[in-house]
Structure 1
C-alpha cells in the first residue's frame, strides 16, 4: 500500500498550539480533534503544500517555520504526514474548513490522532533541547 503524503502544521503562540475539530463531512478522521493539514498535491513540494494549506484552511501565510518530523497515520488511507512548526505568520487567522479551531495547551491530551500526539511530544522535546543548549 502506497502512503498518501500530507502536511500538518502546528501554529505556536506562547505555550499554545492551534488545533481543529475536523468537519463531520470530511472523508478522513471526521469530527476528531487534530492538528490542521492536508494532502500534498501532484508535483507540489512539501513547503508549497504547507503554504497552500495554511492559506486554504486558516487564511494565513507562514513567515517563520521549520520541518519537525514525518510520521505514518493509518486511517481510511495510509498517510505519511510531514509536520511543520509555524512560529510566525501573516494575515488574520480565520477558520475556513474545520467545524472549529481553538488554541490549546501544547499537551497532547485533547488530540485524537496518535501521530499528532507524537509530533507534539517531539516539538516539546526539541524546545527543551533548545532551552538547555542556550545555557
Structure 2
C-alpha cells in the first residue's frame, strides 16, 4: 500500500519594488541552493510567529538596507519543491515607497540589484519563477 506523502508549507515574502515605472530585481548568488544565478524579487522566509508584513520589512532591510513605508499585497504563488516535497508559498507585495535610498547588496544572498523596465524583465531567460511574468506584465500595464 502506498502512503501519502506529508507535505509542509514554507512561507516566503517577496518585495516587488517599483520606482518611476521600473522594477527592482535581485540576482541570486551562484552559491544559493534555490535558483542560483537567477533574477528574483528580494525577500525570504517568514519566521515562526512572524506575520507577513513584519517578515517583509525584516527581509527587505536585511537584503537591501531599505525599509518599506508604502506597500500593498499583490498575490501568493505556490511552488512545490520537488526535492523536499515542501509546498513553498511566495507572498508578493508591491512596494512603492521606502526609506534608505538605493538598495545595496548587504549579504551573500544576492550578487547584484538592477532596475528593469517590466517588459525587459518579462523577457529575461534567467528569471527564477515563470509565475513572476504575469505580475511584471500587470506592473507594466499600470505604469503606462
TM-score range, shorter chain: 0.7 to 0.9
**Aligned partner of 2:105 among 95, 107, 118:** 95
Q: Name the structure 1 match of 2:4.
A: none
Question: Would the aligned equivalents of 1:62 and 1:90 in 2 still touch at CA under 8 Å?
Answer: yes
Question: Would the aligned equivalents of 2:43 and 2:59 in 1 still touch at CA under 8 Å?
Answer: yes
Question: Would the aligned equivalents of 1:21 and 1:33 in 2 still touch at CA under 8 Å?
Answer: yes
Question: Would the aligned equivalents of 2:74 and 2:94 in 1 still touch at CA under 8 Å?
Answer: yes
Q: Name the structure 2 match of 1:114.
A: 130
Q: 1:95 Cα shift?
A: 1.4
- Please tell me the root mean square deviation across aligned C-alpha atoms, in Å: 1.8
Cα distance in 2 between the residues matched to 1:112 and 1:27? 12
Matches within 5 A, 1:1-135: 1-75=7-81, 76=83, 77-92=86-101, 93-96=103-106, 97-107=109-119, 108-110=122-124, 111-124=127-140, 127=142
Q: 1:124 Cα shift?
A: 4.3
TM-score, structure 1 as length reference: 0.85
More helix as a share of residues: 1
- Structure 1: tracts of 5 or more residues without a match: none
The structure 1 segments of at least 4 consecutive aligned residues displaced by more than 6 Å after TM superposition are: none
Question: Would the aligned equivalents of 1:68 and 1:123 in 2 still touch at CA under 8 Å?
Answer: no
Q: 1:94 Cα shift?
A: 1.1
Q: 1:113 Cα shift?
A: 1.2
Larger Rg: 2
